[in-house]
Amino acid sequence: MNTSVKIAGVEFKNPVTTASGTFGSGMEYSQFVDLSRLGAVTTKGVALTPWQGNPTIRVTEVYGGMLNAIGLQNPGIEVFCERDIPFLKKYDTKIIVNVCGKTVEEYVGVVEKLASQPVDMLEINVSCPNVKEGAIAFGQDAKALENITREIKKVAKQPVIMKLSPNVTRIADMARAAEAAGADAISLINTITGMKIDINRRKFVLANKTGGMSGPAIKPVAVRMVYECAQAVKIPIIGMGGIMNGEDAIEFILAGATMVAVGAANFTNPLATVEVIDGIERYMKEQNVADINELIGAVQ
Amino acid sequence: MQIFEKSTLVKCGRLSEGIYEMYLKTGAAEYAKPGQFVMVYPSDASTILPRPISICEVCEDTLRLVYRVQGKGTREFSLYKEGESVKVLGPIGNGFPVEEGRGRKSILIGGGIGVPPILELAKALKGEDTTILVGYRNSDMFLTEDFKKQAPLEVATEDGSVGVKGNVMDVIREKNLKCDVIFACGPMPMLRAIKKYAEETGIKAYISLEERMACGVGACLGCVCKTTKKDEHSHVNNARVCTEGPVFEAREVEI
């Protein structure tokens, strides 16, 4: 049984990675999960300088999901290169570094710093709904997305994944823009902008008022968007949004995803990543699937 | 050392209005210290986040958790029956620096649903010069009999039905309580008042903070609090309550 997949020449032992921001750089979860079992670890977004993030309350539960407005708190690329990359290199897994910034120059700056680092792929976060400048501004306008993708591709030494926002009118247009500008892959969906109001206090629950929704409640939206993008572009897709188990992951793969990412499920179950891998293998056995690649986009 | 496993509910019950307890048999008990907490995972699939609950008592291989029914998750817990299996992760956090209370005069302060972790701390400091000071809304109190076995107990109630009328700070003033160190867990206004009191009097105060959490292991950065020093993880004066906390020296945090 083959579970390995390839994206832009990088081979992953299985199609499962982590959704950026839910797994840190793997350090905290490594006491429960053997990181070497994962196809890849996708790290929390890293910027050129340390970012403080938003005030609290930053997270809240909603029915079948959660809202977060962390605001990309991170220690900056220097600490990341000194601490997080050497940690991840101890494991037999691929490293996908999620990159964030407020301006094109900042994104390019991080990508340049990563050029000499032993990481396998870059995921460009142009879709975080929780920071005021940059991020989603690049992900909601096809021209801006095309432009930033080109600028990053000029300096990137690793294959580039553009992470798309679902908070757009037609996500397929964004996928096409990323592909046209030379992106090696796309990942989707980032969180869906949401809001929760405390009716007793008549106040917003989150300090940021809005937050990104994730969790099993958003899965049907994510599967639909992965399908639409798979119909629109030829570059590989990393699918995510509410994957809780192997069956959910298979759904994304059938819709057209080459890889999948496990996000909020890590909070529901610290072992979610490995259980998703086990679930995929179980499905393949039951369905007599010799190669996972047969399933990619196989929905009829 | 943290454990993530299915624990067994060996005993449970209601302590007062909206306050429940459960005794969970878990490997996490072996490593638990006063002031630490555990994540308890609801089984209803629509509640995707675990609930952080403080450790009230460590009884050999069992953790006693006392919690308030606050929403869907804790309501589910309150309906559990003995023998049920309950997923837990813990122990989590730094806990109270018990050694700071040795050989010193200390007050252990709990308010509202911040009262439970004071019990395990009182047990750890038994025999030391400690006073337990707890605040409740009214005479519908919980854990007071357990506290009396450990150290002298002072009580404040908002309606004045038991002890001093008012809050825990009113007790300190009215009874002229003196100490070298305060350990406290409770609502933010109480912790702010303790921080102010500690700064004015020059005593040390260790306060246990509460914040909304998602992962409980330090990965999501949901539960941060402002710190005066650079934090260990992101170097931006935003420490993780679940990992660097929940207990901070009052001077080190901006609340």
Judging by beta carbons within 10 Å of its beta carbon (0-12, 13-18, 19+), is residue B122 exposed, middle or buried? buried
Torsion sign across C-alpha atoms B135, B140, B146, B151: positive
A59-62 vs B85-92, strand pairing mode: unpaired
Percent of chain A residues past pLDDT 70, beyond the cut:
99
Q: What is the mean pLDDT of residues B114-120?
A: 98
Which residue among the candidates A81, A100, A128, A229 is catalytic per the annotation? A128
Q: What is the pLDDT of residue A138?
A: 86
pLDDT in tens, A248-286: 999 999 999 999 999 999 999 999 999 999 999 999 999
For residues B21 and B12, is the Cβ–Cβ distance under 8 A? yes
Residue B182, SS3 per DSSP: strand
> Which among B73, B217, B220 is the nearest to A70, CB-wise?
B220
Residue A154 lies in a domain: yes
> Which among A31, A61, A75 is the nearest to B47, CB-wise?
A61
Residue A66 lies in a domain: no
The structural domains of chain B, with segments of one domain joined by +, span 3-92, 98-254
CATH tag, B3-92: 2.40.30.10
Q: Are A73 and B218 an interchain contact pair (Cβ–Cβ within 8 Å)?
A: no
Q: What is the pLDDT of residue A134?
A: 65
For residue B152, list its beta bridge partners. Answer: none
> Which among A68, A75, A79 is the nearest to B222, CB-wise?
A68
Domain total in chain A: 1
Residue A284 lies in a domain: yes
B47 interface with A at CB cutoff 8 Å:
yes
Q: Are B235 and A65 an interchain contact pair (Cβ–Cβ within 8 Å)?
A: no
Confidence of residue A136 (pLDDT cuts 50, 70, 90): confident
B3 interface with A at CB cutoff 8 Å:
no
Q: What is the mean pLDDT of residues B94-123?
A: 98
Q: Which residues of B touch A68 (CB under 8 A)?
A: 214, 220, 222
Q: What is the mean pLDDT of residues B3-9?
A: 98
Q: What is the pLDDT of residue A135?
A: 67
Amino acid letter, residue B36: Q
Please give the ipTM for the structure prediction.
0.96
CATH number at residue A128: 3.20.20.70
Fold of B98-254: Rossmann fold (3.40.50)
What is the extent of the structural domain holding A23?
5-46+71-192+215-295
Whether the per-residue pLDDT at B206 is higher than 70: the answer is yes
Q: What is the pLDDT of residue A128?
A: 76
Confidence of residue A137 (pLDDT cuts 50, 70, 90): confident
pLDDT in tens, B157-188: 999 999 999 999 999 999 999 999 999 999 99
List C-alpha distances in Å: B85 to A296, B77, B82, B92.
38, 11, 9, 20
Residue A94 lies in a domain: yes
Q: Are B235 and A75 an interchain contact pair (Cβ–Cβ within 8 Å)?
A: yes
Q: What is the pLDDT of residue B162?
A: 97
Whether the per-residue pLDDT at B224 is higher than 90: the answer is yes
- The answer for residues whose C-beta is within 8 angstroms of residue A203's C-beta and 6 or more apart is A197
Q: What is the pLDDT of residue B51?
A: 98
B255 interface with A at CB cutoff 8 Å:
no
Q: What is the pLDDT of residue A131?
A: 73
Whether the per-residue pLDDT at A82 is higher than 90: the answer is yes
For residue A86, cis peptide bond before it (omega within 30 degrees of 0): no
Q: What is the pLDDT of residue A132?
A: 65
A81 is catalytic: no
Q: Give which of B145, B146, B151 is closest to B127, Cα–Cα.
A: B151
Q: What is the mean pLDDT of residues B208-217?
A: 97
Residue A91 lies in a domain: yes
For residue B75, list its beta bridge partners. Answer: none
The residues of A whose Cβ lies within 8 A of any Cβ of B are 21-24, 27-29, 31-32, 44, 50-53, 56-61, 63-66, 68, 70, 73-76, 79, 215-216, 244, 264-271
Percent of chain A residues past pLDDT 90, beyond the cut:
95
Q: What is the pLDDT of residue B12?
A: 98
